[in-house]
Structure 1
Amino acid sequence: MKTPQSNGELERLHREAGWTMRQFAQAVNRIGTEQGQRLKYMQPSVHQWLHGHLPRETVRPLVLEALARRLNRPITYSEAGFPSLDGQLKQPASTVEGLIDLGRLDMDPSRRGVLGAGLFSVALTIPGWPDVVGRLEAIKADPYRRIGQSEIQAVSAMTDRLSDLDDEFGGRYARPMAAAFLVNTVSPYLKASASSETRKSMMSTASFLCYLTGWMAVDEGAHGRAQEYYVKSLELAGASGDHMTYCHVLRGMSVQAANLGHGTPAVRLANAAAEASPESSPRMRAFLAGQQAHAYALAGERTNALTSLREAERAVNQAESGLGTFGGFSSATLAYSTSEVRHALGDVKGSVESLHDHFRLRDSSDKQRSGLIFSSLLAERQLEMGHLEAACSTWGKVLDAYPGIHSGRIDGQVASIPSLLSPYRSNPVARHVIERSRSASVK
């Protein structure tokens, strides 16, 4: 049998990363866990990779992502000495055709778990506003279909309905419907004959629907798929001249990165959103500065985090009303952002206090899913402080409402309860919560 030759390209990247083989293996394992794969690679596996043995095909993207996160730049298959994927050299799909292909993957439940659906890339190339504004490729209009304001209104109304379903029941229910609507209705509209003004309005409306579908993918834990939707949304926003949605999507991408614990990419995206903002109303400043504060805190930039948080506080105080404003940033949202900043900076007690402020300030416009997510965070941080009974009480309320929601993020939070409470199994209250959470997890 022919002995594999050493992979010089991968060896160079390994040296540049400054990792031991054990650290390399651990980085790949962590990304596997993030994607839902239980990997147990150790030093001998990395030794084999460096000496020419190829990782399994499903693991190669994880190796590339681990290196990209370490080196803060995209890493290609060829740069790592891996064979190119089939079809990798094909011409990139147009914006509309790419959107159709993306949506079809989500329409078919049997294909929604394909490789890469959950793989978040920190080195994703984000198109800047000058790169996308008004530059959507020329579309050959369908002479047999023409659209007007009624079609735009229908897509906007359907987007609102899908958003309500997502908030009430979770992304797992709503995302296949959103994808089907994108493929079967919205994509044909994007190719239909229309006036220039109508075409731009349809692209803008489609951009926000695309963003919403990506948000649903985040909720389900399909982070790579979410990024694909987000980039399509940026392209459509730029093509329609919709600066506001473009800014909103960048902030959403920062939220995604922050929730996954990637501080540096979160800062980059939050700052890009702030720089791209077409307006400086108090509510918009708060909307952006609150996310910048969280991102800076995760990146360890304490001074910038506190400065941005103070800016968000001033802006919220200046805003007269949240009605009709973009993003809906409120005092309750600010309290949540403050909690995240405090926790990232090591102030667990302050984080719990701010979460209590958040729940005190919530109103009827706040959704059940976010309430359950934030309640789970509160329970985890109460336990972190050593307040076992308070944590169990909070988790009990989460478990009361859990059967009615279908959210991947909440699923993960509930599934983690037994391991978090494992050291307290001798306590009858903790044991009861463990048993409830295990029963609830098989819903």
Structure 2
Amino acid sequence: MAPRSRTPNLALAGLMREGGIGNAQLARAVNRAAAELGVTLHYDKSSVSHWLKGSVPKKEARDAVAEALSRLLKRPVSPVDAGLGAGTDPDEPADIAAGVMDLGRADMDPSRRAVLGAGLYSAALVVPGFDAVAGRAEATPAGRTVRIGMGDIETVRKMTENIADILDDLGGAHARPMAAAFLVNTVGPYLKADGTEEARKAMRSAAADLVYLTGWMAMYEREHRIGQRYYVKALKLAGAAEDHLTYCRTLRGMALQASHLGHGAKSLELADSAAEAAPVAGPRLTAFLRGQQAHGAAMVQDRRQAFTRLRETEEALSQADGRNDHIGGYDRAAYEFHVAHVLWELGDRSESVRALRRSNRFRPSAERQGRLHTNGLLARRLLAMRHVEESCEAWDRFLDDYTGTSGARGDEHFATLRDGLRPYRQLPAVRQLSERAQEVARLKAA
């Protein structure tokens, strides 16, 4: 019997022709995208030739192919668009409340969370503009028996504050499951409940804050696709509530996520979009947004814009008074952290380290999670500069907080501590720190 002939993939060929993408170039981009998922692929130009002739990569690789094409073409491309069939991403419900509940329910279940997180962070995601989502909420089916009031909205806001406190003190691994459970069991039904238009808008706004915070936690747990899904839902909820503040804050969170993953141009684009969407902003929000713009500008090596934005950040922060919002707030510690990022990206390593030290001096003592991250970053940067003994001192302070917290961000720093110091293990300071790290590892495993 003659072998069955495959149908050439004209869709993939068309996309590659559109972007002038070579086989080897696409293979390298796919391997890089897959690495962000923790999947190791070794595709080369011959693999792409096979795809063009009609073979289809394994299902877990299709999202990586689509994302690689999206980044190369600078527009969204799905696996279906590329002629590869379905990817791994679950379907998105059209209804906001149902979508929030489905996402939270999957996030609560460790077995479903693995599937939920299988999708790849999309650097080419089209972000809904505020005008596109403002005031838009899906109609809820008739027959509702629950009616919400301002007391219910206050419950959601207080719970969000409490979860943020737990995040700061104990880490995202403890706080995020609580947030997901509260979204499913309380917030989702509230979003479907009856009430005055004022109450329903206020509930969407309160829900958007919690969804934003949950996305922030997923981002710092290195589950970037899950974080991105939460962020998009927060944008839609904020738009439906006509809540510019939370919409802009969420865009800024998305800009930070892009910067973590090394997408400088995307980070700057999102930070600029957040600033443009806030035509009337108080000084603290202005500082919050300008600081992220400064970081994005530094990532694309726009030195002039980066320092201009930093000056605007400092000026705005100097005018801020009153309460600093716990959710997405901005203070002197956050400003110095942005300064450190800008200086590091632009090559001034010594001043970047000084800014990180200042950030921790300004940080409230209760913000253990933020201090842990800053000390971990400080230790890594000192080590990169070969200031080994100073790095050990910073790692010691990191361990003070790490023993009492739980989260992927701290675990990532801890792994760097153990691996990065091995070349220097003959130094007394490194031996002493390594002994302490081994004891911490035993305590964590117990």
In structure 1, what is the Cα distance between the partners aligned to 2:419 and 2:89?
42
Equivalent in 44, 48, 57 of residue 55 of structure 1: 57
Residue correspondence of structure 1 range 1-150 to structure 2 within 5 A: 1-17=3-19, 21-85=23-87, 92-114=93-115, 116-117=117-118, 119-150=120-151
**Deviation string, structure 1 residues 198-253 (Cα, Å, up to 9, x no partner):** 11111111111111111111121111111111111111111111111111111111
What is the letter of the counterpart of residue 31 of structure 1?
Answer: A
CA displacement at 1:182 relative to structure 2: 0.9
State the 1:382 CA deviation.
Answer: 0.8
Superposed CA RMSD: 2.5
Corresponding residue for 1:412?
A: 412
Contact 2:65 2:79 in 1 (8 A): no
Deviations 1:325-364 (CA, angstroms, capped at 9, x unpaired): 9843222211110000011112111211111121222233
Say if 1:410 and 1:12 are closer, same or farther in 2 by CA, change over 3 A: farther
Q: Residue 39 and residue 431 in structure 1: after superposition, are their counterparts in 2 closer, same or farther (change >3 A)?
A: farther
- Kept in 2, the 8 Å contact 1:118–1:221? The answer is no
Question: What's the CA shift for 1:155?
Answer: 1.4
1:394 aligns with 2:376: no
Q: Which residue number corresponds to residue 165 of structure 2? A: 164
* Residue 223 (structure 1) aligns with: 224
| Cα shift at 1:157 | 1.3
Q: TM-score, normalised by structure 1?
A: 0.92
TM-score by length of 2: 0.91
Q: Secondary structure at the match of 2:59?
A: coil
Are the aligned partners of 1:418 and 1:437 in contact in 2 as well (CA < 8 Å)? yes
Write the distance in 2 (CA, Å) between the matches of 1:15 and 1:431. Answer: 56
Say if 1:432 and 1:100 are closer, same or farther in 2 by CA, change over 3 A: same
Query: Which stretches in structure 1 are left out of the alignment for 5+ residues?
Result: none
1:120–1:223 contact (8 Å) kept in structure 2: yes
Alpha-carbon contact 1:255-1:266 (below 8 Å) kept: yes
**Over residues 68-96 of structure 1, what are the superposed CA-to-partner deviations in whole Å (9 max), with x where a residue is unaligned?**
122211012232121135998x7842111
- Per-residue deviation, 1:269: 1.0
Structure 2: unaligned runs, 5 residues or longer: none
Are the structure 2 counterparts of residues 280 and 37 from structure 1 closer, same or farther at C-alpha, using a change threshold of 3 Å? same
C-alpha distance in structure 2 between counterparts of 1:7 and 1:413, whole Å: 43
State the alpha-carbon separation in 2 of the partners of residues 87 and 341 from structure 1. Answer: 34
Matches within 5 A, 1:428-439: 428-434=428-434, 437=437
Q: 1:259 aligns to what?
A: 260
Alignment CA distance shift 1:299-1:435 (3 Å): farther
- Tell me which amino acid in the other structure corresponds to 1:360: R
- Whether the aligned pair in 2 keeps the contact of 1:65 and 1:75 (CA below 8 Å) is yes
Q: Secondary structure of 1:416's match?
A: helix
Q: Does 1:293 align with 2:289?
A: no
Distance 2:220 2:288 in 1: 20
Q: Which residue of 1 aligns with 2:359?
A: 358
Cα distance in 1 for partners of 2:96, 2:333 equals: 37
Does the Cα contact within 8 Å between 1:348 and 1:384 map onto a contact in 2?
A: no
Among the aligned pairs, what percent are the same residue? 46
Question: SS of 1:121's equivalent?
Answer: coil
Please tell me whether the aligned partners of residues 283 and 322 of structure 1 are also in contact (alpha carbons under 8 angstroms).
no
Structure 1 residues 420 and 325: alpha-carbon distance in aligned structure 2, compared to 1, 3 A threshold: closer
Structure 1 runs of 4+ off > 6 angstroms? none
